[in-house]
Amino acid sequence: MIPMAYAGLLVVVCVGVGCGWLQRLRVSSIDGLTMAVFAAAAGLGVLGMVVWAFGLCGAFRPTVLPLAFVACAMTAGVHPTRFAIPALSRWGRGIRCWWPDALTAALTLFIAVMAFLTLTGALAPPTSNEWDALAYHLAVPKVWLHDGRIHAIPYDHHSNFPMLTEMLFSIGLSLKSVSAAKLVHWLYGCLCALACYWAGRRWVSRKAGLLAAALFMACPLVAWEGTTAYIDLASTLYVSLAVFAFLCWRERAEGEGNGWLVLCGVLAGFACGTKMTMIITSGMLVLWAAGAAGLRRGVAWKHVALVTGVMAVLAAPWYIKTWILTGNPVYPFAYSIFGGRWWSEQAALDYAAEQARFGIGKTLYGFLMAPWSTTFHAQYYANPPAVYDGTLQDARSGAVFPAVFATLGLGAVGFAPLWLARPARRDENAAPLRAMLLYCVAFLVIWFALTHQTRYLLPLLPLLLIPASAAARAFWHAGQGWRAAVITLTGVCLLWGVIPSIVLAMPAMSVAWGGESQDAYLRRTEPIYSLSQSINQQLPRDAKILFLQETRGFYIDRAYQWGNPSQNALIPWNSLNAPEQMDAALRAQGITHVLVNWSAAAPATESERWPALARTAIERGRWKPVIMMGRGGYTGMAVYAIGPN
């Protein structure tokens, strides 16, 4: 009950606060649905910033964080129910009472089924299919909750990233419910689908909006992300709504004011607070506005300054905090320019090499093939990545992470290009649809210049699906034969999403709906959980563990730090030549035990010093095995106690 109650409280409070701010901004031409979508997004952002402020002030405690709801409401100067309940009820009353046709009923049913399947996965505790959640999205807030404040975590560079969404996870964790934390991301996914419906209805038609929402939910990557405690759906919501708000401002009537433009800046600022790469998406909005101002197309330079200023006010605090703690505002990136504490040149090189492993290469062939390869050969864009060998073959069959969940689905690839070749120009809003496509193309070019992970393309999906739904509508009205083709392609797109989602949700059914305890489920399905429980039971409370080839520490209740040289520069591996020196360096940092994931040790790690030193320490009896998982020897995972001097 706690997860669902938390999600409901989030909706009521955040919609209420968001409505208060939207009224203060005097956003024009706003109905109940518009209020619900934009207010919820804005309210979630405000709440995340308030929780972050609590943490910086040393009030990051389970007994204090629930008060963030009250503080959040106070920022808008309203009681949340003053706006939330009327706004939600007005939206409900605005839905027409009609007997839906078959298409409307089918699309609505599909959206409901996908929402249920992803909800089932979200209610289950995280496993290694949510590696980053166990490593830092949930693990970092857990450390801060334990310490009662937000502070630097030297071993984990991710802790210095913007963490707006993780702040909302923290309230769920403070309620002792990891499922409540995961439901935050599921809620962001539902809001993304609602935003697709809203935009489709505004610029195309109501049925086109339903189709866009259904195609969004049919994206396997969206379905998987909706079951995780990741942050990409939050980034997607803020980026797409910021673009939609900018387009609404461009369409304003004479003398309507700049409410939509300010809202665009607010949402772009929140996007920068979810993920560092979202600086690029927000920067593209600024360049868009600046280009229009330079060409004198309804935008003045004061408007560019306004949207940039609002965005900077909300985004800059995250990067200023990182600059103060690490000496680098975009830590650990741009190390050659800014440097950074706890980082090294070798770590920067290793990090860049890891990111470069994704995709099929930064060549013209790789760029032109990106729509096809990200859809049908997603193993090269997934995490962990397959290594491209020059042919589009699955070089890693049997990989832990199913490649299908790294695809953006067939909707955008199948329908969006058809907008350019639509047979009848029935849509009267070609300009905003064209702007969405151009924005996506520009972002695709930037994505291609960086790391090739399909997760980083998610913010484009709603912007692609609105023109895609317009193309489907145009072909639908082109004749009976085209209508059959649209139905067939739509059916294939929806099946492409629902079948993997059923496979994803089935194992979680028992634990999500009360048929099995979370402890029993995790002991049955997740090896790292069993190892973590053994550590919690067998190691003393003052133990400190060094992780090698492992980062998943969420379930461990003992102090730990990551130890690979590619993760930080805390251990001076290059200066260690003997096990005695290694043990002395570890003891100097208070480390009493070492956890080694031998199964994850790749041939590349043999060039590092720690594998040889670790084996020598084990063979000489300096490291004594305490917990072993696997076949023994240098396989599986093992925890060693560091012997006395």
Identify the residue with better confidence: 169 or 386: 169
Dig out the tokens for 39 from the structure: 């207010």
Angle at 499 between CA 494 and CA 502, to 5 degrees: 125
Cβ of 353: how many Cβ atoms within 10 Å?
A: 11
Reported confidence tier of residue 89, pLDDT bands at 50, 70, 90: low
Contacts of 549 (CB under 8 A, 6+ apart): 564, 596, 597, 598, 600, 601, 605
Read off the amino acid at residue 356: A
Q: Quick check: bond before 329 cis, omega within 30? A: no
**Contact (CB, 8 A) for 546 and 587:** no
Whole-number pLDDT of residue 74: 76
- What's the pLDDT tens digit per position in 364-378? 888 888 888 888 888
Q: How far is Cα 541 from Cα 555, in angstroms, rounded to an integer?
A: 14
Whole-number pLDDT of residue 30: 73
Classify 340 as helix, strand or coil. Answer: coil
Which of 236, 229, 119, 128 is CA-nearest to residue 171? 229
- What's the pLDDT tens digit per position in 122-171? 999 999 989 999 999 999 999 999 999 999 999 999 999 999 999 999 99
Burial of 355 (0-12, 13-18, 19+ CB in 10 A): middle
Residue 398 has pLDDT above 50, yes or no: no
What's the mean pLDDT in 266-292?
Answer: 94
Whole-number pLDDT of residue 397: 44
Which of 2, 382, 355 is CA-nearest to residue 225? 382
- Cα–Cα distances (Å) from 195 to 244, 282, 470, in that order, read 9, 18, 16
What's the mean pLDDT in 421-434?
Answer: 75
What's the mean pLDDT in 22-48?
Answer: 85
Residue 34 has pLDDT above 70, yes or no: yes
Whole-number pLDDT of residue 432: 92
Residue 84 has pLDDT above 80, yes or no: no
Q: How far is Cα 117 from Cα 114, in angstroms, rounded to an integer?
A: 5
Reported confidence tier of residue 532, pLDDT bands at 50, 70, 90: very high
**Contact (CB, 8 A) for 470 and 432:** no
Question: 502-530 burial, b if ≥16 CB within 10 A, otherwise e?
Answer: eebbebbeebbeeebebeebbeebbbbbb
Query: What spatial distance separates the first Cα and last Cα of the chain, rounded to whole Å?
Result: 51
Residue 96 has pLDDT above 70, yes or no: no
Q: What is the greatest pairwise CA distance in the chain?
A: 83
User: Which uninterrupted H or E stretch holds 556?
Assistant: none
Q: How far is Cα 473 from Cα 453, in angstroms, rounded to an integer?
A: 31
Identify the residue with better confidence: 556 or 297: 556
The model's pTM:
0.94
Reported confidence tier of residue 17, pLDDT bands at 50, 70, 90: confident
Reported confidence tier of residue 608, pLDDT bands at 50, 70, 90: confident
- In the chain, % of residues over pLDDT 70: 91
Q: How far is Cα 638 from Cα 624, in angstroms, rounded to an integer?
A: 10
What's the mean pLDDT in 12-31?
Answer: 80
What's the mean pLDDT in 378-397?
Answer: 68
Angle at 246 between CA 244 and CA 247, to 5 degrees: 65
**Contact (CB, 8 A) for 221 and 458:** yes
Whole-number pLDDT of residue 278: 94
Residue 580 has pLDDT above 60, yes or no: yes
β partners of residue 606: none
- What's the mean per-residue pLDDT of the chain? 88
Sheet of 559-562, strand order: 559-562, 544-548, 593-597, 637-642, 623-629
Whole-number pLDDT of residue 329: 96
